[in-house]
Amino acid sequence: MNARPEATLAQRKRQLVADELTEAALLLLVREGFDAVTVDEIAATAGVSKRTFFRYFASKEDVVVRFLADMGTDIRAGLAARPPEEPPSEALRHAVTVPLAACVGHSDRALSVVRLILGTPALLARFLERQARWREDLAVELGHRLGLDPADDLYPRLAAGMALTAFDTVLHRWTAGDGAEDPVELAARAFTVIAPALDTPAAR
């Protein structure tokens, strides 16, 4: 009877340590710069050993990318939750707005971290690598939604790529403007541009 509660406590403890490591890393990296901070400094700030750090993360890049790790899941879930009769452009716009709205809710922190990621080649490479996976997931979800096979039909991957390009463009515009513009509003404007291509019947 005790196994399940113990597992829950272990998961909570692991999550707590991971959160503390992430917060320590973000604090240092945003303040000092990515290349200036070592794993030892992150571990010391979080109050854990270097060995403990490597139980949770393979590198300091992984700590930062964790900040955005759930974005792809949120985007796909957001698309899956949209009404089936909704035009693709609307469904995809609402989907990419999910993580953007979360950024608005933590604007100062989110802005600093997104700027760090976009401005650090090693982190940007990891972020783009993750976006490639998101594109495949979105293509599958969009194919399911429209009854198209991404292996045979060009539309799902093209549409997913366009949506993520809009998402990426919004992040760059948001950070370049120091957060002065609402990323959700920027996304709406971006999708106004690409909606005709996404919703043209001939494209599908």
Q: Which residue has the tokens 């799902």?
A: 156
CATH number at residue 192: 1.10.357.10
Residue numbers of the domain that contains 179: 70-203
Distance in angstroms (rounded) separating the CA atoms of residues 117 and 90? 28
- Are residues 159 and 123 part of one domain? yes
- Average pLDDT over the chain reads 88
Residue 24 has pLDDT above 90, yes or no: no
Q: Write b or e for each residue in 26-57: b if 16 or more Cβ atoms lie within 10 A of its Cβ, otherwise e.
A: bbbbbeeebeebebebbbebbebeeeebeebb
- Are residues 188 and 94 part of one domain? yes
CB 150 within 8 A of CB 143: yes
User: Per mean pLDDT, which of 41-45, 53-57, 128-132, 194-198 is the most reliable?
Assistant: 194-198
- Are residues 175 and 83 part of one domain? yes
103 pLDDT band, cuts 50/70/90, is confident
Instruction: Give the pLDDT confidence score for residue 203 in this predicted structure.
Output: 60
Helices (H), 33-87: 39-46, 50-56, 60-65, 71-80
**DSSP state for residue 35 in the 8-state scheme:** G
**pTM to 2 decimal places:** 0.82
Distance in angstroms (rounded) separating the CA atoms of residues 77 and 73? 6
For 10-20, what is the mean pLDDT? 83
- Are residues 163 and 114 part of one domain? yes
- Are residues 178 and 156 part of one domain? yes
- Are residues 18 and 55 part of one domain? yes
The tens digit of pLDDT for each residue in 48-95 reads: 899 999 999 988 888 887 777 678 889 999 999 999 999 999 999 999
- Are residues 93 and 40 part of one domain? no
Does the residue 65 lie in any domain?
A: no
- Are residues 29 and 113 part of one domain? no
Residue 2 has pLDDT above 70, yes or no: no
- Are residues 185 and 93 part of one domain? yes
For 131-156, what is the mean pLDDT? 94
- Are residues 127 and 91 part of one domain? yes
